[in-house]
């Protein structure tokens, strides 16, 4: 079958295009040429109004870095050491772009070592972002923290005006320390109900303003005051 001129013309063009794109691909993987370089890093978080400057620095990547020399696993590992980040994902996009997506811990309370205050998430994670001041209206914990503090935090919020901190005792029950120095010993079962009873008792008798040391509520049938 005889080939005409147009066939050979298209054939030559196809060969040239194949060589061109193959060369560009090879150059990209070898780290040569502008399309092999990181042009832009986009960072998105699941929380609005978050300063992402520290997160951008934690990637350790700057524009001009060769795209395929970036180890995404190492970038993720660096990001996960950044305070406040719970999960992260990094992926390559076309045209030398990298996308970073992060999920942050959401603070529901604070944890203190007696000097500094750290954000504390609902799953008990202490975020290493210390502050010398406690935010107004924040429930504070000390010592060991269990994996779920959401319910006890919600209950303790109702005592916020009289609360100094909560402490998990023997990994099984809570003590409340009031701003007046009273230790309230909560029962192991249903401490939320005990807090509600304490609030009612305080409303009636102002017990948290009295000169006492402890309020023992571990026995749900009676309350002992010392």
Which domain CATH number covers 142? Answer: 3.40.50.11690
Structural tokens at position 206 = 């102002």
Res 46: pLDDT: 84
- Domain contains 19: no
- Which of 70, 85, 104 is at the close of a domain? 104
Res 131: pLDDT: 93
Q: Are residues 87 and 138 in the same domain?
A: no
- Domain contains 11: no
* Distance separating alpha carbons of residues 60 and 70, to the nearest angstrom: 10
- Which of 70, 104, 138 is at the close of a domain? 104
Res 132: pLDDT: 93
- Domain contains 57: yes
- Domain contains 4: no
Q: Are residues 62 and 167 in the same domain?
A: no
Contact (Cβ atoms closer than 8 angstroms) between residue 139 and residue 166: yes
Q: Which residues fall within 8 angstroms of residue 62, CB to CB, at 6 or more apart?
A: 38
Res 25: pLDDT: 61
- Domain contains 147: yes
- Domain contains 30: no
In 64-169, where do the E strands start and end? 85-93, 97-104, 107-112, 117-121, 140-142, 163-169
The helix (H) or strand (E) run that includes residue 16 is helix 5-30
* Distance separating alpha carbons of residues 172 and 187, to the nearest angstrom: 9
Q: Are residues 52 and 69 in the same domain?
A: yes
Q: Are residues 220 and 123 in the same domain?
A: yes
Contact (Cβ atoms closer than 8 angstroms) between residue 164 and residue 200: no
108-144 burial, b if ≥16 CB within 10 A, otherwise e? bbbbbeeeebbbbbbebbbbeeeeeeeeeebbbbbee
Res 31: pLDDT: 46
Name the stretches of the chain with pLDDT < 70: 1-3, 20, 22-36, 49, 63, 67-68
Q: Are residues 125 and 212 in the same domain?
A: yes
Contact (Cβ atoms closer than 8 angstroms) between residue 203 and residue 193: no
Q: Are residues 136 and 153 in the same domain?
A: yes
- Domain contains 116: yes
Q: Are residues 91 and 138 in the same domain?
A: no
Residue 199, helix vs strand vs coil: helix
Q: Are residues 47 and 135 in the same domain?
A: no
Q: Are residues 142 and 72 in the same domain?
A: no
Q: What is the pLDDT of residues 69-95, one digit of tens each?
A: 778 888 888 898 888 898 999 988 877
Handedness of CA 14, 17, 23, 27 (dihedral sign): negative
**Can you give the pTM of this predicted structure?**
0.74
Domain count, the chain: 2
Tell me the residue range of the domain where 72 lies.
37-104
- Domain contains 91: yes
- Which of 48, 79, 104 is at the close of a domain? 104
Res 36: pLDDT: 58
CATH number for position 74: 3.10.20.310
């Amino acid at each position: 079958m005889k080939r005409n001129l147009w066939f050979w013309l298209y054939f030559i063009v196809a060969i040239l295009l194949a060589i061109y794109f193959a060369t560009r691909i090879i150059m990209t993987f070898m780290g040569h040429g502008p399309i092999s370089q990181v042009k832009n890093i986009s960072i998105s978080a699941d929380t609005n109004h978050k300063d992402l400057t520290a997160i951008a620095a934690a990637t350790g990547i700057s524009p001009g870095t060769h795209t395929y020399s970036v180890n995404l696993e190492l970038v993720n590992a660096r990001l996960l050491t950044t305070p406040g980040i719970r999960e992260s994902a990094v992926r390559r996009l076309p045209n030398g772009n990298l996308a970073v997506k992060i999920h942050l811990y959401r603070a529901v309370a604070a944890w203190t070592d007696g000097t500094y205050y750290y954000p504390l998430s609902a799953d008990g994670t202490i975020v290493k972002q210390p502050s010398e001041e406690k935010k107004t209206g924040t429930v504070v914990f000390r010592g060991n923290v269990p994996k779920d503090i959401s319910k006890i935090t919600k209950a303790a919020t109702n005592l916020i005006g009289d609360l100094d901190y909560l402490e998990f005792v023997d990994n099984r029950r809570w003590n409340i320390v009031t701003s007046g120095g009273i230790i309230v010993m909560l029962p192991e079962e249903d401490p939320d109900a005990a807090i509600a009873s304490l609030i009612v008792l305080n409303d009636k008798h102002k017990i948290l303003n009295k000169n006492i040391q402890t309020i023992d509520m571990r026995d749900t049938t009676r309350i002992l005051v010392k």
